[in-house]
Every structure is written in C-alpha cells, then in structure tokens.
Amino acid sequence: MNFTLASEFESVPHAEPRQPWKNTKLTILRSVFSFTVAAVLAALIAQVTPLAGRLGWFVAMAFTFPAVMAVVAYKRGSRAMADQMVTGIVLIGFTSVMIPWVSIVATVISRGLKAFYVGFLTTDMLVNQPDDPLNMGGVSHAIVGTLIQVLLASVVAVPLGIIAAIYIVEIRGRGAGVVRFFTQAMSGVPSIVAGLFVYATVVVTITHKFNAVAGALALAILMLPTVARTAEEVLKVVSDDLRASSQALGASQVATTFRVVLPTIRSGLITAAVLGVARVAGETAPLLLTSQYFVKFNTNIFDGPMASLPTYIFSSLGVGTDNSVARAWAASAVLLTLIFILFTIARLFGGRNRKSH
C-alpha cells in the first residue's frame, strides 16, 4: 500500500519554483522595446513643448518610460503593470543620481588628461612653476602630504569616534545625550572654523609654525562627527538578543562589546572610517591655515609646511593660466583616484573579515 502511494506521488508532475527576479531574454527584449518607444515619444514631446535640449528630453523620458513599461505589461495583468511602472520609476531615479556623478568624473578626467605625463606622479614642483610646460613638474609631494595628514587624522578621529559611539549605544551613561549633542553639533562646524581653531591653539601658541600635525588635527575635528554618527548607526543594527545571549553565558559588558558586538559590525566600522576619510580628503580651507603649501617633499610632520592635493589644486587655480588650470584638473583626478583606491582597499578588508566570521 505504501509502495503504491509512493509510486502515485512520484507520478504527479511537480511544478518547479519560479524565479521572477532573474532576467530572461523576453524581459530584456521588453525593456529594450520600452526604452526605444519611450525615447522616441520623449523626443517628440521635446519638439512640440517648451522642453528643449538634453535636459528637456530627459524630463520627458522620466514620464514616458514608466508609462510605456506599464502599457507593454498590459496583457499580464494589473500587478505586472504596477510592477513595471515602479521598475521604470526606480530606473529613472537611479539614472538621475548617476548622471551627475558620471559627469563629474568624466569632466575631471577629460580636462586633466593633458597634464599627465610619465613623471607627473613622481616629481614635485621645486624647480617648476604652475604655468610651466605640462611635461615638467608633478604632484608627488602633494600625494605624500595628503596621505600623511589623512593618516594622522584617522589615527586620532577613528578611535575617538568609535569610542563615542560605544559610549552612546552600549554604555548609555548619563552623559550619552551630551556626547550625542556635541557630536551632532560638530558635524555642522564650517571647515574654516576648525582651521582657525587649530591655528589659534596649535600653530600660534605651541608650534609657532605651520606643520602637518596641525593640519591633521584640523581634519580630525571635521572627521570625528562623521565617524561617530556612522558608527552609532551601525551599532544600533546589532540585535539586543545577541548582547543578552553573550551576557547570559557569563561575559561581561566589556567582553560582549569587544568580542561579540564589534566583530559583528567590523565591515560597518570600516565603512564609517572610509566615510570620514572621504569627508576630509578634499578639504582646503583648514589646511591653508595649518599646514599651508610647500613645493617640495617634506616628511617631517612637526617642522615646516607640507603640501597636499587640495592646497596644490588651490594654488594652481590661483595662477589662472591654461597650464596651471590643467594641473589643477589633473590633481583633482589623482585625488578622486586616491579616494577610490582607499575605499576599495577598505571594502576588501571588510569583506574578508566578515567572511572569516
């Protein structure tokens, strides 16, 4: 009897689970057809209405593309129409966000390419002027200065930011509200004010000269609230059940925080540090008042001015000639590339640590 039931059960055809999220050839063809029709309609609308140029076409496209996608899915029911319309709106929104970013990167690279040559990344400006021919001089001193000052700022701001987030979320002491208030208030401090503060308290009073440490302290002031607020939000993601389970096994609050909570969100903390670096890597005003600009290598962080990519860009733009402006664009491309490399390295280490756990 059991054998008969099993045989009958095996003979019944089983429906395979559907995977609608996977793109099929039909879905791709529908999307291409919808885009083509919407593009033609948008062009016609731009011709017969006050909308004109590429911006007008894109505005018209923002309305026609979701509508066309919904019409194409008409025979598949109302749910499919609603799904395709929302998909079209999301694609338009994603494109709207990507266009400015791509435009910035493309503009920086295209305008800075003519200043690149073999020695641009390995020479300084000791014997050259910003308006000299573009096959002379470089940004090596500014790259090294940026790396040194950002590294020093990270050494100060990242641990303090994470400690502040731990105090607010994990310890929840009496001063947690005060710490959160000052952290939020610091995020609104103008960069020039941070530079003036460090100039008055460090450069004038202590060192009596421009130096990299003063520049790093100014950057750390601007970096700290970004790291603290991001780390706070990451800590809030950890479930309280995880903390309670650790403490139920006899672990102290310190052990739970440093051996359970922090390893769980290690990639998030790395992201917080990267966001802090990205926040300050392009700051110019505080560095003009603290580390200034120098035309050659200077690795002494306590003695003398030190160049950085933002101050190099500022000084080159101040000259105003075609060659100096091209150098500024090239240095901007180097700065973007440097931030991208740092972000990629941080994400790789963060992903590796997450997988290991």
Q: What are phi and psi of 118, to 5 degrees?
A: -60, -40
The label of the residue with tokens 């435009």 reads 103
CATH number where 266 lies: 1.10.3720.10
Give residue 249's Cα distance to chain centre.
39
Q: Give the mean pLDDT of the chain.
A: 83
User: What are the tokens at 163?
Assistant: 């400690």
Domain count, the chain: 2
- Rounded-to-integer distance, Cα 53 and Cα 47, Å: 9
- Rounded-to-integer distance, Cα 312 and Cα 115, Å: 14
Q: Is 229 found in the same domain as 94?
A: no
Q: Is 315 found in the same domain as 191?
A: yes
The per-residue pLDDT for 86 is 87
The per-residue pLDDT for 51 is 67
- Residues 93-127: pLDDT tens digits? 888 888 888 888 888 988 888 888 888 888 888 88
Check whether 56 has a pLDDT greater than 60: yes
Q: Is 151 found in the same domain as 103?
A: no
Question: Does residue 179 belong to any structural domain of this protein?
Answer: yes
- Rounded-to-integer distance, Cα 217 and Cα 206, Å: 13
Question: Does residue 350 belong to any structural domain of this protein?
Answer: yes
Q: Is 158 found in the same domain as 86?
A: no
Question: Does residue 16 belong to any structural domain of this protein?
Answer: no
Question: Does residue 160 belong to any structural domain of this protein?
Answer: yes
Q: Is 104 found in the same domain as 156?
A: no
Check whether 330 has a pLDDT greater than 80: yes
Question: Does residue 349 belong to any structural domain of this protein?
Answer: yes
Q: Is 154 found in the same domain as 72?
A: no
Q: Is 37 found in the same domain as 103?
A: yes
Q: Is 144 found in the same domain as 109?
A: no
For residue 159, name the pLDDT band (cuts at 50, 70, 90): very high
User: What are the tokens at 104?
Assistant: 């910035």
Judge contact between 223 and 280, C-beta under 8 A: yes
**Whole-prediction pTM:** 0.77
Question: Does residue 30 belong to any structural domain of this protein?
Answer: yes
Q: Is 176 exposed, middle or buried (0-12, 13-18, 19+ CB in 10 A)?
A: middle
Question: Does residue 196 belong to any structural domain of this protein?
Answer: yes
Check whether 18 has a pLDDT greater than 80: no
- Rounded-to-integer distance, Cα 222 and Cα 329, Å: 25
User: What are the tokens at 152?
Assistant: 């020093």
Question: Does residue 338 belong to any structural domain of this protein?
Answer: yes
The per-residue pLDDT for 23 is 54
- What burial letters (b/e) apply to 314-343, b meaning 16+ CB within 10 Å? bbbbeeeeebbbbbbbbbbbbbbebbeebb
- Rounded-to-integer distance, Cα 49 and Cα 218, Å: 52
Among the candidates 72, 96, 113, a domain finishes at 113
Q: Domain range spanning residue 78? A: 23-113
- Residues 203-244: pLDDT tens digits? 888 888 898 999 999 999 999 999 999 999 898 888 888 888
Q: What are phi and psi of 128, to 5 degrees?
A: -130, 160
Check whether 11 has a pLDDT greater than 70: no
Check whether 284 has a pLDDT greater than 60: yes
CA distance readout (Å), 260 to 10, 176, 199: 48, 22, 41
Give residue 88's Cα distance to chain centre.
26
68: number of CA atoms within 13 Å, CB side?
Answer: 20
Judge contact between 311 and 330, C-beta under 8 A: no
Q: Is 274 found in the same domain as 198?
A: yes
Please name the residue ranges forming H helices in the chain. Answer: 2-11, 25-48, 53-72, 78-112, 140-166, 176-186, 191-198, 212-237, 240-248, 253-256, 262-264, 266-280, 285-288, 309-319, 322-356
Check whether 47 has a pLDDT greater than 80: no
- State the DSSP code for 22: S
